[in-house]
């Protein structure tokens, strides 16, 4: 015997979709959380209230986008399809069916205020005593941009491409004059016609000239901002060619996060391959958003520099960052003569002053603005022996000051405990984002839109952590 199976059976009483979902379903909890958020800033982005058709409710669109990212669905087309087949989407949308263009425009244009929603969720977790800005961890990862590295262009490369196109056109015309079309297997048949070929060449040249004009304008704009960038991607002009996790090179962004108890407190993106320049801007953003500094900050050795340590000391933040190149610059192995300003190593070799070291030091408060200034880094000494294995010795008083602080902290039990916490705090967050949520590539382009998507992903991560707590 089998249970009754009748696909044509109709419901006598209209029922709610919510009845098909259990009380702890992700869609149900997400609906309750979003309903309790203050979305005033989102509603203010809608200004046209006097004419035209009515808009889909922003709260509904926000819910289905969050739910999509929770379930590894980042495409607006796929979200639109799910609205007709997935009960979770249908419940959150209230059986509304916006098309993919509406969803995509809402995500790219209306969610410029998503950082306000992100802040509300972080503060909610703080009020629940899940976080308290005590010991935070900083780390970064590379995320692929929605751009191909083949679209990276320079002025010289475009000039060569235009020159090659003109040269090829001339060679084809010369071959045509010799009337050897029957032997030209390498030329497509549709280009045998002279007028069609000329039109194709003209279109290609116009496209290349527009690309060159775009690249030149972007290079000039970057130079005005103090950014030395000669290679511009015509698909996503803000992305840069970076070495990714698997040692491949592709256009992408460097995503930085500060976490506590696997909760993302603040996040940022840049196109800088090096992490060392991202610490100050990340901590500044945390301070500006929540008006308080963390008590302790943990990061890996890629963030070690004297200016980062100096900034953290000035802001009364106890830092736990392993310092690089400790052995090479250990002055305890040298004897200093203050009168002659010379250093002598253990083997009797003398290092004399060569020059004072100044470097052009830059860091970003915002990813499209840069501050530039010259920074004094110390003195450079050179050996008196021409063939000595170590020719130069760099001495920086500030750097050695922080090295001494580092030596005192590294031998403490507190250092071992807090440093080990970074592995179970910030690293699992990237694992969840990349492995569980499958977010390894931005769908939106340029800093402004990529920042929106970055915040959405981080909100979804925090929401999933919130859902896992027994207090809700």
pLDDT averaged per 10 residues, the chain (length 472): 67 72 88 90 79 83 94 92 91 90 91 91 88 91 83 58 57 54 51 60 63 58 54 75 82 91 92 85 90 89 83 88 64 74 77 67 41 59 74 71 78 82 89 91 88 93 84 50
Long-range pairs for 310-317: beta carbons < 8 A, 24 or more residues apart: 310/398, 310/402, 311/279, 311/280, 311/283, 312/283, 313/402, 315/283, 315/287, 317/283, 317/293
Q: Which pLDDT does position 364 carry in this prediction?
A: 40
Q: Which pLDDT does position 362 carry in this prediction?
A: 44
The token pair at 123 is: 């503060």
Domains of the chain, by residue range, sit at 17-127+450-468, 149-233
Q: Which pLDDT does position 30 carry in this prediction?
A: 92
Alpha-carbon torsion, ordered 415, 458, 435, 145, to 10 deg: -110
The token pair at 148 is: 């191909």
Q: Which pLDDT does position 183 carry in this prediction?
A: 46
Q: Which pLDDT does position 350 carry in this prediction?
A: 79
Q: Which pLDDT does position 276 carry in this prediction?
A: 84
Give, for 115, the enclosing helix (H) or strand (E).
Answer: helix 114-127
Q: Which pLDDT does position 361 carry in this prediction?
A: 46
Cβ atoms of 256 and 278 closer than 8 Å: yes
Q: Which pLDDT does position 348 carry in this prediction?
A: 77
Give, for 108, the enclosing helix (H) or strand (E).
Answer: helix 100-109
* CA distance linking residue 71 with residue 91, whole number of Å: 15
Alpha-carbon torsion, ordered 329, 335, 339, 341, to 10 deg: -30
Radius of gyration of the chain (CA): 29
Q: Which pLDDT does position 310 carry in this prediction?
A: 84
Alpha-carbon torsion, ordered 319, 325, 326, 328, to 10 deg: -160
Q: Could you tell me which residues come within 8 angstroms of residue 265 by beta carbon, excluding any fewer than 6 positions away?
A: 122, 131, 133, 136, 257, 258, 259, 286, 290
Q: Which pLDDT does position 271 carry in this prediction?
A: 84
Q: Are strands 318-320 and 296-298 parallel, antiparallel or unpaired?
A: parallel
Cβ atoms of 470 and 130 closer than 8 Å: no
Q: Which pLDDT does position 360 carry in this prediction?
A: 45
């Amino acid at each position: 015997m089998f249970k009754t199976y009748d696909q044509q059976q109709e419901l006598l009483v209209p029922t709610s979709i919510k009845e098909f979902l259990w009380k702890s379903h992700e869609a149900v909890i997400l609906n309750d959380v979003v309903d309790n958020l203050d979305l005033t800033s989102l509603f203010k982005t809608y200004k046209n209230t006097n004419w035209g058709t009515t808009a889909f409710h922003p709260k509904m669109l926000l819910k289905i986008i969050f739910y999509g990212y929770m379930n590894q669905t980042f495409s607006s087309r796929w979200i639109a399809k799910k609205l007709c087949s997935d009960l979770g989407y249908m419940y959150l949308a209230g059986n509304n069916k916006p098309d993919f263009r509406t969803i995509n425009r809402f995500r790219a244009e209306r969610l410029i205020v998503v950082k306000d929603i992100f802040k509300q969720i972080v503060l909610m977790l703080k009020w629940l005593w899940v976080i308290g800005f005590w010991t935070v961890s900083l780390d970064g990862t590379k995320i692929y941009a929605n751009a191909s590295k083949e679209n990276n262009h320079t002025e010289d490369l475009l000039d060569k491409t235009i020159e090659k196109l003109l040269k090829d056109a001339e060679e084809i015309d010369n071959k045509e004059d010799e009337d050897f079309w029957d032997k030209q297997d390498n030329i497509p048949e549709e280009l045998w016609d002279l007028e069609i070929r000329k039109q194709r060449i003209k279109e290609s040249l116009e496209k290349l000239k527009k690309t060159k004009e775009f690249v030149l304008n972007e290079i000039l704009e970057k130079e005005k901002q103090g950014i030395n960038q000669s290679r511009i991607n015509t698909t996503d002009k803000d992305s840069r060619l970076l070495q990714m996790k698997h040692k491949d090179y592709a256009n992408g962004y460097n995503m930085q996060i500060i976490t506590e108890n696997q909760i993302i407190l603040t996040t940022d993106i840049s196109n800088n391959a090096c992490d060392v320049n991202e610490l100050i801007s990340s901590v500044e953003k945390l301070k500006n958003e929540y008006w308080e500094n963390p008590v302790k900050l943990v990061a890996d050795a890629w963030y070690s520099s004297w200016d980062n340590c100096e900034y953290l000391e000035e802001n009364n933040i106890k830092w736990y960052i392993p310092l690089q190149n400790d052995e090479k610059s250990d002055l305890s192995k040298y004897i200093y003569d203050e009168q002659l300003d010379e250093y002598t190593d253990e083997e009797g070799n003398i290092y004399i002053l060569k020059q004072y070291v100044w470097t052009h030091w830059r860091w970003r408060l915002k990813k499209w603005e840069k501050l530039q200034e010259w920074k004094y880094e110390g003195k450079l000494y050179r050996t008196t022996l021409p063939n000595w294995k170590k020719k130069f010795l760099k001495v920086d008083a500030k750097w050695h000051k922080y090295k001494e602080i580092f030596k005192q902290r590294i031998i403490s039990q507190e250092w071992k405990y807090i440093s080990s916490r970074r592995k179970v705090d910030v690293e699992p967050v990237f694992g969840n984002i990349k492995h569980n949520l499958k977010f390894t590539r931005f769908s939106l382009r340029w800093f402004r839109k990529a920042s929106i998507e970055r915040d959405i992903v981080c909100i979804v991560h925090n929401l999933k952590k919130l859902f896992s707590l027994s207090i809700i």
